[in-house]
Chains A and B, each alone.
Chain A
Amino acid sequence: MSAAHDEKQPRRVHLKVLGATLGAGAFAYAMAPLRAWTKNISKEEFLQRHYKELTREELAKVIQRLEAETKRDYGRDVTIKDPKPREGVEFGYALNLSVCIGCRKCAEACHVENNHDRRTNNSYIRVLEMEQGSFDMERGNVQYDGPVPKPGKFYMPVQCHQCDNAPCTKVCPVQATWKEPDGIVVVDYNWCIGCRYCEAACPYHARRFNWQKPEIPAEQVNPDQGYLSNRIRPQGVVEKCTFCLHRTREGKLPACLEACPTGARVFGNLLDPNSEIRWVLEHKRVFILKEELGTRPRFFYYFDV
């Protein structure tokens, strides 16, 4: 050990301390946006359990908090309910491709009903303009314009098929999405971690991710909301069509059906032998999309023949 080395020691230590301080400061600076973000996440929200683990009282508290947050962030008084699936009801949906004219009123109604982000004009429904005489989606087009229906075309709206063998619920690593007893696939927006594996797994492009916090002017917010359906979703989680369960579980029809000007849409209880949906399934030439994947959808298409 030479004397020169010993003299260098204190300077070396000082340099290290300086370096560590600078490093820590730079780290704090780099992470500053994250600190601001975590301020908006309350302790209750952070610690909230999965929907299925909440007691009635806990859920009531959560809903109260969510309503207050909506008021704070969107300036609107809303009511969030949690209608439960009804005994003896399993929903099914059918769409008449002979009648659909591709006006996209359904997509628009979905946008409004489900409190979608206004900037992105999001909707759970995509309408494909298809070529008459072909079922090749490769030749379909969603970006069509001008008056409809166009000659030589037919139109196929696609939304969540509420599959009985749903690939999306299987892949979710945290069980944030599941199938309800009435056949509706739902998401707990407060449990989803935003990994988007379900989005990759869905064969029907039915899922959407909140790439940013939804923006909706106060007067446009739909105040009648469901915990598992159309309440305004947080940033960074996945959402999807829920057959408007906040309406349908209370005896109303889905918004997309009510908006359809041609009556192409038929919705109802598959377990009720007298329902219109059962009549369609029994009397029409019905088919499902991508049947070969074995997803067993509850969304059916048919032609009038």
Chain B
Amino acid sequence: MTKNSHAVTYPAFLLRIFRGAFDGTWRFYVWMTVLTAIALVGANAWAQQTANGMHVTSMTDHVSWGLYIANFTFGVGLAAGAVMMVIPAYLYDDHEMHDVVLVGELLAIAAICICIGFVVVDMGRPDRLWHIMPGIGRFNWPISMLTWDVLVLNGYLLLNLHITGYLVYTKFLGKRPSKRWYLPFVFVAIGWAISIHTVTAFLYSGLGGRPFWNSALLAPRFIASAFVAGPAFVIVLLQVVRRASSFRIGDGPIRTLTSVLRVTVLLNLFMLGSEVFTAFYTGGAHATAAKYLFFGAHGRHGLVPWIWSAIALNVLSAVLLHSKATREKVAVLDLACFAAFVGVWIEKGMGLIIPGFVPSTLHEIVEYSPTLTEWKITAGIWAFGLIVLTIALKTALPVLTGEVSLERDRELDRTRGPAEPEEDVRLAS
């Protein structure tokens, strides 16, 4: 075994990544401590929910999915939306985007972790998770759309882990990546990104008993809103990364993503409008859910503030994105992104999952409003996702910039001698 065989360098790489995850400036420590604290509050709430039963949530036999599945749906969109960096980078040879595309791929990984988290906390029996594992349990594939979702989400996770892991590792070794080992995966991942959100939409749109979801427009709508939430998040994320690290990010990628956002935010509103027209012009019992959502029905109005906030935020974002101010002031752009992100989060969550259940299939109206436990768990999972994202960026980007590499590590070891293993000061300070 030579000192350059993968059996030596790959563990060295993993160790370096691991060490990098626990080392940083005081800002990094504060940020991670806050996130960890929130994640722990969520973990505790989940442990209590699992032990005492899900009656601690606001869900009922009438509204049997709530905030968790709402966030799951949005999270899948976020994961798929990150592909809006990959497409320009690889299909249109946008070089500037190509330089930063890893950020999008790492975001996809974090978003999938969030999705998996939300599915697990929604399970009444997490101890039986192995029942859904192909080969070990009984996997109702291809009939159940949920099994498709398990496959595509985990597949997407593996694809992105491979692509990012391979690129960062070869860079760490100081070699040029071999296209054979990542380009095919990148192209598969582009199609795969669309598939994860299509399958997630089919989860709902395939249910004949739920007229509010039973629409062929649901999958296209999901894709459109994913391409709002994804780019909106990335635009802000790129600015944060630019400030917090020495990773160089040009204005090009942000401009490209803003152009994408300008289109998708309108497309998303257009599709929402089409659904609204179809529901209200047709009327009848199938429109009751829409009536309840937008205006309230039978004296209940629980979702009205949610959906109008979502519409207001989406419209605000659309107006801002098409105004001159966005091009001139980055703060306005950030505001537009924030509005779009939150707008879609509401529209796709409280505004889409919940009205599927109200009225119930026997036309009863039982309202749903998340409990503190649900909010704690939700915040915990998002915090966990941000931890994953932070660590991923924190460890991968210094390799890309060349600050961290096998050669430099070895050089450092040589100058210091093996007796002094603590050489992390260089990065930390």
Contact = CB atoms under 8 A, between A and B. Distances in A.
Nearest to B356: A200
B125 A193 contact: yes
Contacts of B33: 19
A202 B62 CA distance: 11
Contacts, number: 182
A30 B143 CA distance: 38
Given A140-B363, A193-B124, A209-B61, A31 B208 contact: no
B129 A193 contact: yes
A205 B52 contact: no
Contact of B61 (A50, A199, A203): A199
Nearest to B37: A26
A172 B362 contact: no
A46 B127 CA distance: 7
A106 to B, nearest CB: 16
Contacts of B127: 38, 41, 46
A237 B360 CA distance: 20
B53 A30 contact: no
Sort chain A's interface into a size bin. Answer: 35 or more
Contacts of A202: 209, 361
Given A37-B51, A167-B207, A174 B123 contact: no
Contact of A199 (B64, B144, B428): B64
Contact of B123 (A1, A37, A193, A205): A193
Contact of B146 (A128, A197, A213, A290): A197
A236 B124 contact: yes
A211 B131 contact: no
Interface in B111-159: 119, 122-125, 127-129, 131-132, 137-140, 143-147, 150
Contacts of A211: 53-55, 57, 59-60
B428 A167 contact: no
A291 to B, nearest CB: 12
A172 B144 contact: yes
A222 B36 CA distance: 48
A236 B53 contact: yes
A219 interface: no
A61 to B, nearest CB: 19
A158 B207 CA distance: 20
Given A172-B144, A193-B125, A9 B54 contact: no
Nearest to B49: A33
Interface stretch (B40-48, B99-107, B401-409): B40-48
A191 to B, nearest CB: 6
A210 B55 CA distance: 9
B199 to A, nearest CB: 12
Given A37-B51, A193-B132, A212-B53, A9 B144 contact: no
A235 B146 contact: no
B408 to A, nearest CB: 14
B124 A235 contact: yes
B47 A293 contact: no
Interface in A257-305: 290, 293-295
Given A33-B44, A209-B61, 8 more contacts: A5-B425, A30-B44, A137-B285, A158-B362, A170-B143, A195-B146, A211-B60, A212-B52
19 contacts: A5-B429, A9-B422, A13-B422, A26-B40, A30-B41, A33-B52, A34-B46, A174-B140, A191-B131, A192-B125, A193-B125, A194-B124, A195-B122, A197-B144, A199-B64, A201-B209, A235-B53, A236-B123, A293-B209
Interface of A: 1, 5-6, 8-9, 12-13, 16, 19, 23, 26-27, 29-34, 36-38, 41, 46, 50, 126, 128, 136-138, 140, 142, 158, 167, 170-176, 191-197, 199-205, 207-213, 234-238, 290, 293-295
| Top 6 closest pairs, chain A to chain B, by CB | A194-B124, A203-B209, A236-B124, A212-B53, A37-B51, A30-B44
